């Protein structure tokens, strides 16, 4: 499993898409200890099991790791956050694939509605897309969804959950949504082949 190591500079993202610089100060089995993220708004309530993303550059790509907050403690005079790893990391920098390399069509199905989406990034375990802002109340973290994806004429269905959603600067006010696929990922080998062909 890909993960940052002690000494790595990372960025912590909250569920609203805010980004805050931090550093890995320790690592153990399925856990990371981070320095308190710089500029984290003190008025933002935090609780154990708050879901976050840790991102860091590696091997000429940006990696994204889902985590949940386990503890905030003061050690050696400084605040540190302990987070538990909550799934596999994925490469986020696949925009060339999503936008230009292969034909890709996407829709996200919620309980009672299916919404067309614009694919932004795709990996073997997650995707990032843009959806209509009029349905933004549906894009709550942990909301169950099914991603309906067509790649070069081949159909995929991935059950998953919303990891985070944030507003974009687009004139149409659409919302950027990250969906983490349930594991084991259906037809992962077939998906991996499409990603390899596009790489």
pLDDT tens across 23-60, in order? 999 998 899 999 999 888 766 667 767 888 898 988 76
Over residues 152-179, the mean pLDDT reads: 85
DSSP E strands in 36-132: the ranges are 51-58, 61-75, 78-85, 90-91, 104-109, 114-122, 126-131
Which domains are seen in the chain, by residue range? 9-90 (2.30.110.10), 94-198 (2.40.10.220)
Q: How many CB atoms lie within 10 A of CB 156?
A: 17
Q: Looking at the predicted structure, is the pLDDT value of residue 66 above 60?
A: yes
Name residue 166's beta-bridge partners.
Answer: 176
Asked if residues 130 and 175 have their Cβ atoms less than 8 Å apart, the reply is: yes
pLDDT computed for residue 148 by the predictor: 95
Query: Token match 């696929």: residue?
Result: 181
Query: Token match 């879901």: residue?
Result: 51
Question: What dihedral do alpha carbons 38, 69, 78, 10 form, nearest 10°?
Answer: -40
Residues 6+ apart with CB under 8 A from 89: 1, 2, 3, 63, 64, 65
Q: Strand 144-151 to strand 104-109: parallel, antiparallel, or no bridges (unpaired)?
A: antiparallel
> For 1-12, what is each residue's pLDDT tens digit?
588 999 999 999
Residues 6+ apart with CB under 8 A from 196: none
């Amino acid at each position: 499993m890909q993960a940052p190591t002690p000494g790595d500079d990372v960025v912590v993202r909250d569920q609203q898409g805010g980004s805050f610089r931090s550093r890995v100060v320790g690592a153990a089995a399925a856990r990371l200890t981070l320095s308190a993220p710089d500029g984290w708004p003190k008025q933002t309530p935090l609780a154990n099991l708050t879901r976050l993303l840790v991102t860091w550059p590696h091997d000429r790509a940006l990696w994204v790791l889902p985590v949940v907050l386990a503890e905030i403690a003061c050690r050696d005079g400084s605040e540190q956050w302990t987070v538990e790893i909550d799934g596999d990391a994925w490469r986020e920098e696949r925009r060339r694939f999503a936008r230009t390399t292969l034909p890709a069509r996407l829709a996200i199905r919620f309980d009672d509605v299916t919404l067309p989406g614009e694919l932004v990034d795709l990996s073997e375990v997650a995707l990032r897309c843009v959806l209509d802002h009029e349905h933004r109340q549906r894009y709550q973290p942990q909301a169950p969804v099914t991603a309906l994806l067509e790649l070069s004429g081949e159909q995929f269905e991935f059950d998953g959950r919303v990891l985070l959603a944030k507003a974009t600067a687009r004139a149409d006010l659409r919302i950027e949504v990250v969906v983490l696929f349930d594991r084991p990922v259906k037809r992962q080998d077939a998906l991996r082949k499409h990603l390899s062909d596009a790489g």
